[in-house]
Structure 1
Amino acid sequence: MPRPSLKAQRQDAILDAVGHCIVQYGVGGTTLEKLAETAGMSRSLLRHNIGNRDAILAAFLDRFFSESEREVEAMLAMLPEHNAMPVLLDMLFDGEGNQTTLVALSLTAAAASDEPIRRRLSQWNQAFADTLTELLQSAYPKQTRQAVEPVAAGVMGIYFNAESLTALHGMQALRRASKQAAHQLIQTLES
Structure 2
Amino acid sequence: MAGRPSNRDERYAQVMQALVRCVARFGLEGASLTQIAAEAGLTRPLIRHHLGNREDMIAALQDHVLHSFAEQTEALIAALPGDAPAAALVEYLFADTTGSSPDMVLAFAALTARAAEDADLRTACRESLLGFEAAIARVLRQDNPQADDHAVNAAAHGIVALYLNVASLAPLDMPQGWTQTAQTIAHKLLEGLDGGS
TM surpasses 0.5: yes
- Residue 6 of structure 1, CA deviation: 4.5
Alignment match of 2:125 (pick from 121, 127, 130):
121
Alignment match of 1:157 (pick from 161, 171, 177):
161
* Pairs aligned (count): 189
Equivalent position amino acid for 1:36 in 2: A
Distance in 1 (CA, whole Å) between partners of 2:152 and 2:114 is 30
Distance 1:177 1:130, change over 3 A: same
Give unmatched runs, 5+ long, in structure 2.
none
> How high is the sequence identity, in percent, across the aligned residues?
29
| RMSD (CA atoms) | 2.1
SS at match of 1:23: helix
Give unmatched runs, 5+ long, in structure 1.
none
Residue 182, structure 1, aligned to residue 183, structure 2? no
Provide TM-score, normalisation by structure 1.
0.88
Does the aligned pair in 1 maintain the 2:152–2:193 contact within 8 Å?
A: yes
- Residue 184 of structure 1, CA deviation: 0.6
- Residue 60 of structure 1, CA deviation: 2.6
SS at match of 1:41: coil
Provide TM-score, normalisation by structure 2.
0.85
Equivalent position amino acid for 1:125 in 2: L
Distance in 1 (CA, whole Å) between partners of 2:51 and 2:63 is 13
Distance in 2 (CA, whole Å) between partners of 1:171 and 1:116 is 38
Distance in 1 (CA, whole Å) between partners of 2:41 and 2:128 is 31
**After superposition, what is the alpha-carbon deviation per residue over 1:19-67, rounded to whole angstroms, capped at 9, x for unaligned?**
1011111112112222222222332222223422222231232222222
What does 1:11-30 correspond to in 2, within 5 Å? 11-30=12-31
